[in-house]
Structure 1
Amino acid sequence: MKWCANIAASLVLAFCALGFAADYRIPPPGSSPAARYPSMDPPNEGLAPLQAPEFAPAGEAPSYPSFKDGEAGQAKSSAASAGGAARERLGTRAGLNANAAAPLTSQGTPLSTLDGQVSGSVQLTGASSQAFLRIFIAPGATGDIQKLVVSQDVDMDGSVDFNYTPGFAVSGVCANGFVGCTPGTWADCTYYGWIVEEGKLNVAPVASGVLGGCYCINNSCGGANLLWNNLSLVLNDLGGGAAGALTRASPSYQITQAKLDPGNMSIEFYGADLAAGRPLADGRIISGTVSETQYYGRPGQPAAINLDSSAQAEALAQKADPKSPYSMVTQLVERSGTAVSTQNCQLNRLVSISSPTILCADPYPPGTLVGERQVHEYFRVYGYPWSGKDDCRIGKDCGGPTSCYLPEPHRFWMYHWLPQDGPVMEAAAPPENTTLVPNLEWWVYAGCSKKDGTDVGHYSAYQYWLLCTKKLDLISEELTNGCGAMEADPQCVLNSEIVDGVTVFRNGGSTGLVPQPSLRNYTGQLGTYPVTREWWRKERTYSCQKEQAPHDLSGAYERVAALKDSTDQFELGTTTLHYADRRKNAAGAWIADGGSITLNPPDAVSNCQPICKTRKVISNTDVTLSSTSDKQRSGPVGGTLDSNQIWGFSYKPCETQGCPLEPGEELIKDCQCLSEFAEATAILQTLSQAGKDLICSDGVRK
């Protein structure tokens, strides 16, 4: 669509120039913007204020923005080139038809860029009168959707070829599915998500956490008529979920319009399959509305569709949607005369999971403990040497880690001991944060000697030091309220509230819909933990009234009067504009001021539209009362034309290449400031005299 953008850019060039000229103000020299515009109100909240340029203090020469050398000429040249190309292709009725209307409304004419270098097939109109997806619901006595019918045009030939109806009542609606429960209750519920199988919509059971924005619609949740009072919301959510499943399965589908019809308890979708180059129905492109020809009426035959009733139905449908243009304009009219601002805010439930590792002796960090595991790591460190009277064979004959014991006082100490609840690592010294394990040591046999006929055993004693840590998973929860200021302001009224995608408050009143608790999973170092809450996000819109003083424009009037009086004598063609001004200084007193602005010299322009005069032989087949016009002539005209031929003269605006001549056309007068006033006057006088000759004023034919 690059060529469309080029055409649009050229067409809006002139409007941009006009907008710049209209928005330009003669800037008064002085101090701050507030002092220069003392009587103007502050800008509306949420809008960035216009930034007026800063000027030198009073008495000093102000500095004005200006073009650098050559920039003005380049800008003019570019604008003239673009404007000339647009005029050449779109400046005449024939050019507009050939280069814009025909390409946008017919399939065989390509649309080209202004320079003619790029072209392509673009068709803007051609309504699709058949929806490719329609959802119909029928409420039951218990408030559930007793019947849900999904009608789909799978092969997009303009006719429905697939219908899906679940064999159970629908008790709840979600953003991407629905919920089936025992009718009239919220018990024995099964959650279903939209799926697409071979291009056809269907549903499949899913976990409740997979669906989002679920709410109950039957009588058990909000009394009778809950579904009837929220038909538009229910249809929008059901249709949005189904259409979303289709577009996810086929990304080339482009939905162009959703037509909501609460009166018939249905919603329809129109669009196009961009990959196949065809609409999602029978039209050529994608207007997604009823064909305009059905509104046309013929003499004695009414239109197929009544325009008034269609307009009323559209107004009712838009009235049910607070975001529709109709609803927004209606609210604007109702609030006219009051200073009302719309404020948006949110309440959020922020849940986070942290996974620290702490020492066993340390206190637990803040948060709710959801997972814990103690970890032991042992470090074996040399402790001391030991010798004692014993049988030297003890050290030699120990075969296992727990089979040998030493004599008193170490009788119950293990000779070899390996902890079973954690790894053992060798260390030269006890690491930080470790504790000595009592009564448990590792003894290594070093040798045996004889002393006074007694065996003396020599050993190296190693001690165990324990590092005890805890791996934790902690969940923290925080509520943020961005609506506190509006809640406390008596001038602010709640207009709408959406809780986790469910509209519970609309146009200042409750919808009766109650969002169902939803589940989110949070994963830490020890596992995944489901967290269920009543709500996660609340989006609110408040209407806040503000006291506003009447606008005082007296200061603006006085300044405008001073500027106007001083610039009335400005003459076109001059390059300096002198002006006088009155403004308020920082103390609020009126002072006289003035200055001058250097203007770019005006471009030389022609005082006329260059045109040319041409002629071309055309057939003369006019009919008179007695015969055709060629029978009234006795022979060739001027000796060069047949009796049924005449010269047809044309006046044409000149183009860049000169006079645009058609095949067989002769140039009579080339491009110039042409004036044919004398010739036109003579022709009119001749016709007037001829008309008088044909009038029989006295009743006698002459």
Structure 2
Amino acid sequence: MKLVPILFFLSINVIASDIAPVDIKDFATQSLNNIPMNNKDFSKAYMNPLIGGEKLSTPSGTSFNVNLSCPTSNAFLQVMAQTNATGDVSYLQFSRDKDLDGVIDSVKNFPKTVSGVCSTGLISCTPGTWDECVGYKWNAENDNLSLIETGVGNLGGCYCINQSCGDSKKSQRIISSIVTDLGTAAANALASNNPQYTISGAQTTGAIAKFYGQKLIGCGAGSATTMASYYQNPQDIERAADGYKTDANGIYQLIANSSAAQKSLTTLQSCTLNRNTSYKNITLSDILSYSGGDGGVHSCAGDGCIELVLGKIGDNYWSGYCDIQHQKVSFYVNMPEKIKKATLVNARWDDWIKVAANNQTIYAHPYANWDGQTIGNKKCEWSTSWNKYPNVDFTDLIKQKGRIDFTVDVQVAGNGEGYAYAQVLVDESCGLDQEWITNSCEAIEQDKKCRLKNEIIDGVQTYKNYHPTGKTPIASERNISNSCDVKIKRSWWKVKREYDCKTNTEFDFSKGIERNAVVQSSATTTGFNDMVDGVTTKIDLSLPNIETQPSCTNACKTKRKKDKVSVSAQGPVTDKVGEDWETLYRKCTGDNQNICPAGADEKVITTCSCLNEFSTASVMMQSLRQAAQGLICASGDKKTF
């Protein structure tokens, strides 16, 4: 037994300048206490629990249930998908083996395209776009797997896969991840109603994902192993290795980008980007205000009602014959998104009138096609003071930010006037005041020694283990405040990032090597010297008394008459039944292993002891070797036997 490695291990783990000293003898005694030292105790402590369902116990006495998994060898769910030119999944099929007997019981195809994948379902939109989207959630009631229509807001952890949020070939590149996510969501729905479908294993090959469950009655041989698959198809090993290089969920990226691989110490730094909003209470003037001209603006009856006066209010303030008068009034639309409806409710004039907004006619009477500029051969005098309620909707003309100019053109024959009233209904609820982004990642991003390791955007992991996952979060709506019922839609709200940054410290094992040399050069069976921070200390070492264990298991040797005629390829070996003996070796029983469990028809040749039958075995092996050599046709002549 070499003491140097053990002593060095103890010196590293037990003797340290910043912890309380530990007695080596007590440490060793506690470590070795209750560890099985013979076959009987080892079987009782470890083997029987693993194969018989008994409780497993630690050396310190803590016991717990252990069970070798009982997975099925057949997949209970298989998901297959195929993408199209727009990046959507145009073909989605899920097959089920309900009783896990290896025979497919149900095959269903989703009749629509899949544009988004969620943790509980999927989203179907117009192919290649994110328009007319409908959500579908996995449902497994009565053991019948299906997709039922639901609101997109009822789904969680969604990401977009078609060309509307990236290039159209992205979905094909991450097809394995897509079928895995779809299948996992479906399997979870099944498992919520039947524990038999709790996933014990999953296998994804290209566009096909298979999921294995639990066999609740009687353990079988288990699921087909990857090693067996590689044995039958060795060419798959190289493809699998290449796949691991780009798999963000694998360990390849962790190893390739580890501190050891980069030959530099690194530290992890976390940061976030947050989209922030503030709100303000909205007044009528915040939405629409008077800019100038003949007219004005004021509130009208009811909440969110603005009345616009278009022209000069009065009676017979013009005179002339077939004279045309022009009036202009302007307003400024500050928040067009708050305007619900705009209506020309009333007009009063004598004799002709035309009301327009930004040179687009809203209402004209008595000539609907009057241009507001010329008379022609039309009748001027109507001898009427008109008072009409046209109720013409002109919402589209006013729902644009900026100045809007109204014109009121009037033809007067004698004395006359002309003006109109418009009513604008608006939303006075609070609105977005400011929007800004706080970025604690800015300094880290500019540091050339830092690399992005992980990134999560609104719950969707877009970067994992230094590699992009190919997933894109879906734009979502949020209230700008808990007290303000106004939602705004943005492509992202919160980004969490984790960077791996190199430090200026390099690996230095010189002190460890120096310490190891001191320990090795001084180590004996009674102690060793240790050096910490340049100070050498002598450490005494004494191992506890450990009970000596037998070098072998006691056994006894017996013999009994054979009750059957032995045969070979040429026929029976002997025709005298009962005159041939066979030798048996029995493991001794009892507390002291001194009882030979010989049968009633057996004779004990050697009593319980540590048997050494090497000489007998050697003679038998030599006899077989010589007999084999006797069968070789060394001379080249055919021999008969």
The TM-score bracket by the shorter chain reads 0.5 to 0.7
Partner of 1:53: 19
Measured in 2, the distance between the counterparts of 1:192 and 1:627 equals: 73
Cα displacement (A) at 1:269: 1.4
Partner of 2:140: 196
Matched, 1:206 2:150: yes
Cα displacement (A) at 1:254: 0.9
Which of 206, 225, 233 aligns to 1:307? It is 233
Paired AA for residue 492 in structure 2: W
**3-state DSSP class of the match of 1:540?**
strand
Measured in 1, the distance between the counterparts of 2:187 and 2:628 equals: 71
> CA, structure 1 residues 597+544, in 2 after alignment: closer, same or farther (shift >3 Å)?
same
Aligned partners of 1:144 and 1:171 also within 8 Å? yes
> CA, structure 1 residues 284+320, in 2 after alignment: closer, same or farther (shift >3 Å)?
farther
Partner of 2:263: 338
Q: Report matched runs for 1:258-273 at 5 Å.
A: 258-262=202-206, 265-272=207-214
Structure 1 gap ranges (5+): 1-18, 34-51, 56-62, 91-95, 105-109, 297-305, 353-366, 373-471, 571-576, 634-641, 695-702
> CA, structure 1 residues 254+528, in 2 after alignment: closer, same or farther (shift >3 Å)?
farther
**3-state DSSP class of the match of 1:24?**
helix
Cα displacement (A) at 1:518: 2.1
Measured in 1, the distance between the counterparts of 2:588 and 2:7 equals: 28
Aligned partners of 2:123 and 2:152 also within 8 Å? no
Which of 135, 149, 153 aligns to 2:79? It is 135
Q: Report matched runs for 1:232-251 at 5 Å.
A: 232-251=176-195
Cα displacement (A) at 1:501: 3.9
Measured in 1, the distance between the counterparts of 2:222 and 2:23 equals: 50
Partner of 2:223: 287
Q: TM-score, normalised by structure 1?
A: 0.54
Cα displacement (A) at 1:308: 0.9
Measured in 1, the distance between the counterparts of 2:166 and 2:94 equals: 26
Measured in 1, the distance between the counterparts of 2:478 and 2:221 equals: 42
Q: Report matched runs for 1:595-610 at 5 Å.
A: 595-600=539-544, 602-605=545-548, 608-609=551-552
Matched, 1:64 2:9: no
Cα displacement (A) at 1:599: 4.3
Aligned partners of 1:125 and 1:287 also within 8 Å? no
Measured in 1, the distance between the counterparts of 2:152 and 2:163 equals: 21
Cα displacement (A) at 1:176: 2.1
Count of aligned positions: 474
Which of 317, 323, 328 aligns to 2:249? It is 323
Aligned partners of 2:25 and 2:541 also within 8 Å? no
**3-state DSSP class of the match of 1:311?**
helix
Which of 442, 448, 462 aligns to 1:504? It is 462
Aligned partners of 2:453 and 2:500 also within 8 Å? yes
> Could you give the per-residue CA deviations for residues 108-155 of structure 1, whole angstroms, max 9, x where no partner exists?
xx555689xx9x9977577514x2222222222222222222222344
Paired AA for residue 445 in structure 2: E
> CA, structure 1 residues 112+476, in 2 after alignment: closer, same or farther (shift >3 Å)?
farther
Which of 599, 617, 622 aligns to 1:663? It is 599
User: % of aligned pairs identical?
Assistant: 26
Between 650-659 and 210-219, the greater mean CA deviation after superposition? 650-659
What is the alpha-carbon root mean square deviation over aligned residues? Answer: 5.2
Paired AA for residue 538 in structure 1: V
> CA, structure 1 residues 239+680, in 2 after alignment: closer, same or farther (shift >3 Å)?
closer
Which of 85, 89, 101 aligns to 2:41? It is 85
**3-state DSSP class of the match of 2:249?**
coil
Partner of 1:612: 555
**3-state DSSP class of the match of 1:193?**
strand
Matched, 1:583 2:531: yes
Cα displacement (A) at 1:213: 2.9
**3-state DSSP class of the match of 1:237?**
helix
Measured in 1, the distance between the counterparts of 2:629 and 2:225 equals: 58
Q: Report matched runs for 1:398-413 at 5 Å.
A: none
Measured in 2, the distance between the counterparts of 1:75 and 1:483 equals: 47
> Could you give the per-residue CA deviations for residues 470-506 of structure 1, whole angstroms, max 9, x where no partner exists?
xx99999997766456324320122443323434346
Aligned partners of 1:351 and 1:477 also within 8 Å? yes
Measured in 1, the distance between the counterparts of 2:14 and 2:214 equals: 55
> CA, structure 1 residues 506+668, in 2 after alignment: closer, same or farther (shift >3 Å)?
same
Partner of 1:447: none
Measured in 2, the distance between the counterparts of 1:162 and 1:595 equals: 72
Paired AA for residue 64 in structure 1: D
**3-state DSSP class of the match of 2:34?**
helix
Measured in 2, the distance between the counterparts of 1:691 and 1:188 equals: 83
> Could you give the per-residue CA deviations for residues 15-69 of structure 1, whole angstroms, max 9, x where no partner exists?
xxxx99884228898xx73xxxxxxxxxxxxxxxxxx6335xxxxxxx736549x
Q: Report matched runs for 1:418-437 at 5 Å.
A: none
